[in-house]
Structure 1
């Protein structure tokens, strides 16, 4: 299902998005009509719209578009993606883009608070996303390396910068637990995910630190965070194995599950 500005999306509009691939988005998990960190998702859309289109976006209009597509008392958990793009964008004159629309799509949700997804084995590969602070729709580089990692026998990819320091996962943030139980987030230019921000706001000894190979090997546990799955353990990064049952990861899951749902 897909709606554009509250009405059914036309094939022509979807074709425009597919062919230009210029825009930005956020993805949120809806559980029984509520979303964790809804204000953060809306703030992201507003700030990214200024960065990508130089235009203002009304967060209440976005909320209404989401309600129309995903409301109606729909029970259970599912994912909602809000993509902001200009259906009339001309590839030869992208500077004229200035009438972005709000596309809302839904898909099934994976995992749950009481049934976390299996731990991931990831491969480090060098990559820096274009405009990393913006959640834009240009995913080719990320997916190309996710594919490479999976073809090499891993579940996903973990990016490193030109300096070799860990930055972020393909579509998720990475975190680590040191021997003292502190939560470490990589010191790097990354997309600040909503789940990561909610966990950091909840407190509990979170710090930001550069993550070279030698420090990575001293960590006792590692995890990924995403709106789609919450907190997911990492079983290994390359040849470095981690505890997947570490109590600190369990505590992070509990902390995230305790974040109240904001009603749509």
Structure 2
């Protein structure tokens, strides 16, 4: 028997609950790592769910209700686990549900994850996500371009917008090191929760940060690069397309140190 769960609104989900969702694609979610029963950046996850719900459905569930669903799932599993919380309307897609139809939350837990070791090689592809600032479901392009990149001998894909700017990778934010400051690519991207954690902790550590456009032509001027997501605050990159990036163990350790400085919060 597994100690992980699939909950709908805080209770074990049935096949009847899940069947309609298996054929739907209008929802949004957040993914997190739970350690010792606590979550780093819980406020960022709650804000992400709240703002996306307001944009996509015109309403949002109270934070304390969402926390109760997270708490039930965390309490049912081991101290360390992965958790995904998905918000959707029971009215389904291809409809405009009224405010009288309350949103629902599907929570799934699984084994704790820490991401690949790296360093990784990324293949670029011109792609701009729809509603890029929201973490929504049904993005077939992410997996499609990942598979294409792996088929070409790379580890994953990085996206370049129509202006030639690097934005993000398939399921990752990008970050670079210029020798003195952390560089965040300026483009339309999903502001990751791990990215948010790292940025505010770097501020507290008085580490310089810059947001600027980064193109392939800029890479030779940089001193290192990483990808980050809910699994990890930093996996080193070794190249993007044919452009090598220098190893920067100090940069990777800095990001991990900033992430570890974020306190764990119980849901």
Do the two structures share a fold, i.e. TM-score over 0.5? Answer: yes
Provide the secondary structure at the position in 2 that maps to 1:217.
Answer: helix
Farther off after superposition, 196-205 or 123-132: 196-205
C-alpha contact (below 8 Å) 2:174/2:227 kept by paired residues? yes
**Is the 1:33–1:73 contact (alpha carbons within 8 Å) kept by the matching residues of 2?**
no
Answer yes or no: is 1:68 the counterpart of 2:69: no
What residue is the counterpart of 1:31 in the other structure? 35
Deviation track 1:130-165 (CA, whole Å, cap 9, x = no partner) reads 100111112211111111111111111110101111
Shift of 1:90: 5.0
- Structure 1 residues 86-108: Cα deviation after superposition (integer angstroms, max 9, x where no partner): 233153xx212643201000121
Q: How much has 1:174 moved relative to structure 2? A: 0.1
TM-score scaled by length of structure 2? 0.91
Q: Partners in 2 of 1:11 and 1:100 — Cα distance?
A: 19
Does the CA-based 8 Å contact 1:16-1:88 persist in structure 2? no
What's the offset of the Cα at 1:84? 0.4
Does residue 1:22 correspond to 2:23, yes or no? no
Comparing 35-44 and 215-224, the one that deviates more = 215-224
The structure-2 alpha-carbon separation of the partners of 1:2 and 1:73, relative to structure 1 and needing over 3 Å to count, comes to closer
Is it true that 1:210 corresponds to 2:213 in the alignment? yes
The number of aligned residues is 257
Report 1:1-264 matches (<5 A). 1-72=5-76, 74-75=78-79, 77-89=80-92, 91=94, 94-96=95-97, 98-111=101-114, 117-178=117-178, 180-202=179-201, 203=203, 204-264=207-267
Q: Do 1:23 and 1:84's aligned partners in 2 also have CA atoms closer than 8 Å?
A: yes
List gaps (5 residues or longer) in structure 1: none
SS at match of 1:96: coil
- Deviations along 1:140-194, whole A, 9 cap, x unmatched? 111111111111111111101011110001111001111x321111100100001
Change (3 A) 1:90 1:157: closer
| Residues 108 and 55 (structure 1), Cα distance of their counterparts in 2 relative to 1, 3 Å cut | same
Deviations 1:189-245 (A, max 9, x none): 100001111111122111100012221221120001111122111121111222334
Say which SS state the counterpart of residue 95 (structure 1) adopts: coil
RMSD of Structure 2 on Structure 1 (CA): 1.6
Return the TM-score normalized by structure 1.
Answer: 0.92
* TM-fit CA distance, 1:73: 7.2
Contact 2:142 2:170 in 1 (8 A): yes
